[in-house]
Chains A and B, each alone.
Chain A
Amino acid sequence: MLKGELVQLKAPDRSALPAYVEWLNDQETRGYLAIESTYPLTMAEETNWYESMLHKENDKAFAIHTLADDVLIGNVGFHNISWKNQAATVGIFIGNKNYWGKGYGTEAMRLALYIAFQELNLRRVELGVFAFNSRAARSYEKLGFVVEGRKRQWVYRDGIFHDVIEMSMLKEEYLERYLKEDEKRWQEL
């Protein structure tokens, strides 16, 4: 269920933390991410994140590995899961730049959406994408995310303020696109 054609989602392993730290401190990668932490991110902070993730009920993280050779390339996770409202925010990054622009991130997000709607029983998944990050926005639109707003001058990067595009997907929209595929994979288990 958590395997696609290019990637698979796994539980993050403690041994992956140094790679995460390196990726999240990369200026280009970091530029697309809404992380509020001070630069540079330290191993101590990342270890704290990992430890807290093991016990937190309203955050879930998944390591993105290639399917072919099981290489760790990034992470996708749900934050601020509101169980009562059946909603969450999703965040994703591909840290290994060899895998940018080749559909790996798109497929990882698609598998994450399976988790959200079909296994976590959520009804709404939302995300924010910086206005200048058109590659990501195209990927989300391709998957079926709907633009629902724009937070003006929300983030300060490279000396100016940028807008953030707000996107979301509802369960019925997900099912319309992916139900058949999911049923097939469930039957084949």
Chain B
Amino acid sequence: MAGALRGERVSLETVDIDKIDLVNQWFNDPLITKNLNVGVLPMSKDKTRDFLVRAQTPTATDRVFSINALDLPEGEEAYIGHIALHRIRSIDRTAELGIVIGMRQHLNKGYGTEAIKILLDFAFREMNLNRVSLTYKDFNLRGQKAYQKAGFQEEGRLREQVYNNGRYWDMVIMGILKKEYLAEKIT
């Protein structure tokens, strides 16, 4: 798609409502959803549609992109995830990052990390944000690894912020600043 944010292995494009069946599968795979805010309860197709309708309409506070793999064999589904900036604050120049790689076979392949790097580039060098933060559930080691690789550092934790599988877990807060991103970019 023209104008997409392209990297080497993924491009960020608009959200596609026609992918509703695919996205509904992601949202009903507990291996995927345990790490998301929505959690492991099943999600109906109607709820998924609501989400996609909202996601494909950028607002002043929220931008959602699809993550599309560029290196998969012809014919294989390339629409592999979503990545977003939420709660964009125009005065403070901040936003919160959210990401999902929805298909099991594409986890731990570096797609998420590259998508985050592309989005950070857009956030700092296009949108002129000063700070991007995120939170992840304490047990989400896959997420932690990707965020560290993309340059985020841990800033604190929201103790016992979330309830999953019978107990409360901390949410870890991470952040990256524009100056950190640009310094890393130069070196």
Contact = CB atoms under 8 A, between A and B. Distances in A.
Contact of B163 (A12, A62, A119): A119
Assign chain B's interface to a size class.
10 to 19
A36 interface: no
Contact of A13 (B41, B45, B164): B45
Given A189-B31, A189-B34, A182 B165 contact: yes
Contacts of B42: 2, 9-11, 62
B28 interface: yes
A188 B166 CA distance: 16
A117 interface: yes
A89 interface: no
B17 to A, nearest CB: 17
A2 B31 CA distance: 11
B166 A118 contact: yes
A117 B166 contact: yes
B74 interface: no
A2 B44 contact: no
A11 B44 CA distance: 5
B3 to A, nearest CB: 35
A119 B28 contact: no
B45 A119 contact: no
A17 to B, nearest CB: 12
B39 interface: yes
A23 to B, nearest CB: 19
Contacts of B40: 1-2, 119
A6 interface: no
Contacts of B44: 11-14, 54
B47 interface: yes
A2 B34 CA distance: 12
Nearest to B139: A186
Contacts of B22: none
Q: Which 5 pairs show the lowest CB-CB distances between chains A and B?
A: A11-B44, A11-B42, A118-B166, A186-B165, A121-B163
Interface of A: 1-2, 9-14, 54, 60, 62, 115, 117-119, 121, 175, 179, 182-183, 186, 189
